[in-house]
Structure 1
Amino acid sequence: MPDGWQWDRTLFQGSAAYYERGRLPYAPRFAETLATALGLDGRGRLLDVGCGPGIVLLPMARFVTEAVGLDPDEDMLTEAQRQAGRRGVTNARWVVARAEDLPAGLGEFRAVVFAQSFHWTDRDRVAATVLEMLEPGGAFVHISDLKDPPADPGPLPSPEPPYDRIRDLVRGYLGPVRRAGQGALVHGTPDREDLVIARAGFGPVERHVVPAGDVVDRSADDIVAWTFSRSDSAPHLFGDRLADFERELRALLRQAAAPESGFAERLPATEIRIWRKPQGRA
């Protein structure tokens, strides 16, 4: 887990409504790339741990018999159910639980996915449990934006969102150490998932990079949503100063935006890493 942090049920409290609008999507065709890599053919089951509002699970559902989304935040799952209804996804189910509650009677899976959620868990314990929940040859999947992307290919048509200034504003309200939950402070985010997963008994890593790079326009409302979608600036953390913070945030964005077009960003590439359960292991 992040250094000095213990799980807090308020981690993303109030963020679900902002998540889809605020977060940049994964690269186009990430779902097709993952389905091909795993040989998904409409059979088997997939579990998405820390699924949030279904950003990964919903596009993956068509490749499996059943897709199960697990998250401790009921508001996130309510939003995921709403999105499933809007998209006509009928083979998804939603479970309110933490990763540490696994196996939770959920049965066996062909793939278990963590999309930028594994670092919030007791990683050694969860990886060992996931190994036992997978069918032989099944896959532990980690999805994230590409780390250390290549240099930006050229200028953008509008300014980039002023993320550094937004973080400074958040620190001015919440203090210099990043918050995550009502009383928790985060001093660092763990990495080296490869070492944790190797210790659990998985095979070597298989890596896929799904390209992106399209330029997307971003409004002030989009950037406000991004801010409130994050655990370290979730709405509840500001208490009775929330309205003051949002007012200052919008003033900052007005100063930084292009007069007519707001902001622009490039969609980041998506990195998919896959570890397999050895075939001979039951």
Structure 2
Amino acid sequence: MAEQSWQWDPSLYSGSARYYPRGRMPYPKALADALAAELELDGSGRLLDIGCGPGSLTLLLADRFEQAIGVDADPDMLNEASRLAAEANVDNTQWHHLRAEDLPASLGTFRLVTFAQSFHWMDRPKVAAIARGMLATDGAVAHVHAVTHEGIEGTEALPHPRPPHAAITELVRSYLGPTRRAGQGTLPNGTARGEDAIYRAAGFTGPQHIEIPGRVLTRSADEVVAAVFSLSSAAPHLFGDELPKFEAELRKLLHDASPTGTFSEQTREIAVHIWRP
């Protein structure tokens, strides 16, 4: 990536794919409804979800299009996406194993291109320009700003205890060190930001802002464990031979916080920025 010293490598989410669908809190139907209303989605046209992971957003939006295509650099994520599509009887999807930088890859044009928790892993100026060139005449890009691995802290009463996120973070650091891991490299300053200027430099106008309110969800201890392993900063391969020991300590931490193994999460709001060429 031209914007920072960290370089993408195939181990970024190594071992995380099987945890991702269980550990990440699902996008709500309200997100699909809001996009459909704003963009007048009527079942026509095509969707391209870039950095689709296991298809969390792709599958949510698939029935609003003739065809939905997910692209991701991790083959295990795409295997999960294909499995989940089959389980949900969603038959208008395709999954392509390639990096965003290798688009357009003869995939054609699209009514909507989406980035959901993925854009920061890419060569953003290059990918933004590519995405603009892949839009149909009336097309748009939707950038989904969301955090799905954990909820927000707060003082309001919830039905069950919140997961002990701060303690989980410290436990991860005790094994992997204080600097955030990412594949074979580190992200001492976190992931890249400032995408608005990048979209505008690529020729987009906007953004138009949509916000989906947060909600309260019930989570099991298994789901919280899966959420940890779904992260690039705590992907299973990073722990090496100490993975079983780490997981045992993580589960003890969760049991101490909620002996019933049940937690409540107040999710963050989801912000969507719509960009048009």
| Shorter-normalised TM range | over 0.9
- The answer to whether the Cα contact below 8 Å between 2:255 and 2:261 also exists between their aligned partners in 1 is no
- What amino acid does structure 2 have at the position aligned with 1:163? H
- The match for 1:208 is 210
Other-structure match for 1:10: 11
| Identical aligned residues as a percent | 50
> Which sits farther off after the overlay, 185-194 or 86-95?
185-194
Structure 1 unaligned regions, length at least 5:
278-282
Q: Which residue of 1 aligns with 2:37?
A: 36
Question: Which residue is 2:264 aligned to?
Answer: 264
So what's the TM-score if we normalise by structure 1? 0.92
- Contact kept? 1:112, 1:140, Cα under 8 Å: yes
Aligned counterparts of 1:216 and 1:113: Cα–Cα separation in 2: 25
In the TM superposition, residue 4 of structure 1 has moved relative to its aligned partner by 2.6
Which amino acid in the other structure matches residue 112 of structure 2? A
Number of the residue aligned with 2:89? 88
1:119, 1:191 within 8 Å by CA — same for their partners in 2?
Answer: yes
Partner residue in 2 for 1:139: 140
User: How do residues 38-117 of structure 1 correspond to structure 2 at under 5 angstroms?
Assistant: 38-117=39-118
| CA–CA separation in structure 1 for the residues paired with 2:107 and 2:48 | 9
TM-score normalised by structure 2 residue count = 0.93
**Structure with the larger RCO, 1 or 2 (CA within 8 Å, 6+ apart):** 1
Unaligned runs of 5+ in 2: none
Match of 2:182 in 1: 180
Aligned residues: 272
Which whole-Å CA distance do the structure 1 matches of 2:237 and 2:22 have between them? 19
Native 8 Å contact 1:15 1:230 kept in 2: yes
* Counterpart check, 1:240 vs 2:241: yes
Q: Distance in 2 between matches of 1:51 and 1:212?
A: 22
Relative to structure 1, the CA distance from residue 176 to residue 153 in structure 2 (aligned partners, 3 Å threshold; closer, same or farther) is closer
- 1:274 corresponds to: 274
- 1:137, 1:218 → 2: CA distance? 40
C-alpha root-mean-square deviation of aligned residues, in Å?
Answer: 1.8
Moved over 2 A (4+): 1-4, 149-154, 259-262
Q: Aligned partners of 2:159, 2:55: CA distance in 1, in Å?
A: 31
CA contact (8 A) 2:14 2:237 kept: yes
